[in-house]
Structures are given as structure tokens and as C-alpha cells.
Amino acid sequence: MLLMVVMGMGGIYRGIIEDATLLVDEVKADLWIVQRNTRGPFAEVSRVPANLVHRALAVPGVKTAREFVYHTIQRERAGDPLRIAVVGLSWPTDKGESLPIIAGRPLAQNHFEMIADSRLGLPLGEQIRLGKETYTVVGLTENMIGSSGDGLAFCTVADALDIQFDVPGEAVRLERQARHARGRLSEYGRKQPALTELAFAIPSEIPAFSPRQISAVMVTVAPGTTSHSVASIIAGWSDVSVYTSAGQRDLLLRGPVEKVRRQIGLFRVLLTIIAGIIMALILYTLTLDKLHDIALLKLIGAPNRRILGMILQQALVLGVVGYGIALVIGLRVFPLFPRRVILRGDDLTQLAGIVLVISVLSSMLGIWKAVRVEPNEALSG
């Protein structure tokens, strides 16, 4: 059971890495343009204007530029909390065709449709109300999970922004009244009273207000052009920062995932040491039970290497059987965990080597006790 927990710890660590970097790998962007001096939408809040897409397209060597919106919401469904990592797709350039859809279809219209991961428990055709609108699940994906372990839901950028910046109607009315009052008290409002009527318009129609901002811009570099040459041009802009896809991935692993990696690594080391101690005690106890038999073997002339070989063989059998049981039970139990547990072949091979080393080292205590047994102890009963 200890070996199964050690195996599970490694699988959870791999799952955390896969979940954290999955979206960066899936969107297949060469460059990420984010808010200046931030580390991107996955590590912290990033806000850039939507017209940054057109600026990026004007850079030599840029093939495509897409908007990107990412945020997490929590709602209630059937009395249980439902956490959704919302991803905005740049319509109509990206309709979700590249996603691993296992049922349904990609987005077919600019509003009110959603592709959800099966982990969210939203069946195909389900209608869910987010903000002031109702969205229909038209497609289902599998293993599309955000860095926090929440299932991803894909909709258009416009819908993602509506969900993110949704405010109650009363709050909108109060803000309009406050804008109107401030306008009447200002010098411009007294000289031109008609300007105060703009206070009741939506923010996007008021020149003083900027449109809603997106999280980042994803850039694909044209063939024959290097990412670094395009990034060097964009890096000269004073309002944004630019990262390659590998750089964004590295920031994720060294940021939100780093502490989790260290903590799980510490637990793995402690559990491995504990497993070694327990195996050593088991083998020592088994050796104590066989002291009379060992003395008898020595009395009839059995060499020490044969006795030591039997104890070592016993330790290896214990380790191999324990590892096999851990693997069999783990393959059945790990899929039930709330987060993904990914068992890779190289990790299992590494753990098998560690188990063999532990088996050999833990047999030393029993071997030490067997070596000290005198043959005449067999005559003492």
C-alpha cells in the first residue's frame, strides 16, 4: 500500500504538469503577447486591448494572430459547486475544430454555444446559464483540464468576455446614475448638458471608456521566419511583454506548479524511506522466526552464502510482489481520484529500480542477524 501511494504521488505530479501545460500545448501558438511585466494569463491576471491583434498582424513574419481569454468561474449545479475554466476562442478563425472532441461538434455560431470537458459533468445538449445568457453544450472533450484541475469550457471570445464582466442590472443602473451625477457637476456638463446623456449609454459607446480587454494575443509565425525574430520586434513595444510557447510553459512550471512539485517530491522521499524501514523490519522479524532453522543449516554444513542468498531472495520476492500489487490496485483506484494520475513507463521503471534497491538494503538487517547465529544454537532447542 505504501508503494501504491508512492506510485500515486508520482502520477499526481505528472498529472499536475500535464494539466498546467495542456492548454499551452493544445492551442499551438508560437508566441504569447501579454500585459507588460506580467507572466501571462495562466500565472496571473493579464489585460491587453483587443486591437492588439491588428498590431500583431502588421509585424513582418506573423501568419495569424488570435485573441485569447481565460478565467475561472464557480457556479452551482444541482446543489453542488461547479468550477469552470472558461476559454475564449477567436471567432471565426478558431471554432474549436482542433480540440479533441469526443461527442458533438465545434462551435457553429458566434454566441450561446459551448464546448465542455466531460469532467464538468455537462451532457451534450445541456443548457447552462452563465451571466445573463443561456449557453448550450454542443460538444464534449476529454482530459481538457486547466492548471487548477478544473474542466475547460470553450466558447467564443465575445461570450467569454460577457461571462467574465457580467454585473447585475442594478449595479449597471447605479453606475449610470453615478456617471450622470459626476457629469452634471463637471465643467463640461454645465457648459454642454447634452453630454451628460451619454452617461446612460453602454460603456463601449462612450469615447472616454475603452472596450473590454482580453487576456492575451496568440501569434503564429509564418514558415521561414523564426519566433525569436518576431518576438524581438514585439518586445520593443512598451505596453506588452512577449513569450515563446516554451517560455510560457516554463513560467507555468516554475510558478504555480513549483511548490506543488516540491511538496509532492518531499512526500515521495519520506514514503520511500518509510517503505524501506518497514520492509527491513519485516525481513528482520522473518529472520528472527527462522533463527533455529538457520542454526540447523549451519550445523549440517550449509555455507553462509546460501543462507544469505535465501534471505536476499526473500527480500526480492517481497519487493516484487509488493510492487505488483501496488500497480494492479493503483490502476483501478487512480482513475477515481479528483485529479488526473498519469503513470508513465519511465516513472514506473524508475520506481521498480528503487524498490529493488530498497529490497536489497532492507535485507541487510536480516542478513546481519543471520550471520551472528551460532550452529550450536540448533542444539539448544
Give per-residue pLDDT as tens, 86-126: 999 988 888 888 888 999 999 999 999 999 999 898 999 99
Q: Which of 213, 215, 218 is nearest to 64 (CA)?
A: 218
Distance CA 265, CA 259 (A): 10
* Residues 6+ away with beta carbon under 8 Å from 338: 149
Question: Average pLDDT, whole number, for the chain?
Answer: 83
Better pLDDT: 364 or 85: 85
Give the alpha-carbon dihedral of 268, 270, 275, 277, to 10 degrees: 160
Distance CA 3, CA 352 (A): 10
* Displacement of CA 118 from its chain's centroid (Å): 16
pLDDT in tens, 30-78: 999 999 988 878 778 888 988 899 999 999 999 999 999 998 898 888 8
Residue carrying C-alpha cell 446559464: 129
Better pLDDT: 367 or 356: 356
Instruction: Tell me which of 126-130, 236-240, 307-311 is least confident.
Output: 307-311
pLDDT for the residue 42 = 77
Segment holding 76, helix H or strand E: strand 62-77
Task: Indicate the pTM of the whole model.
Answer: 0.74
- Rounded to 5 degrees, φ, ψ at 55 are -65, -40
- Model confidence at 193: pLDDT above 70: no
- Model confidence at 355: pLDDT above 60: yes
Determine the Cα angle at 118 with ends 264 and 254, to 5°: 30
Tell me the average pLDDT across 318-330.
91
pLDDT for the residue 314 = 85
Tell me the one-letter amino acid at 298. Answer: K
* Percent of the chain scoring above 70 in pLDDT: 89
- Rounded to 5 degrees, φ, ψ at 295 are -65, -40
Tell me the average pLDDT across 306-324.
86
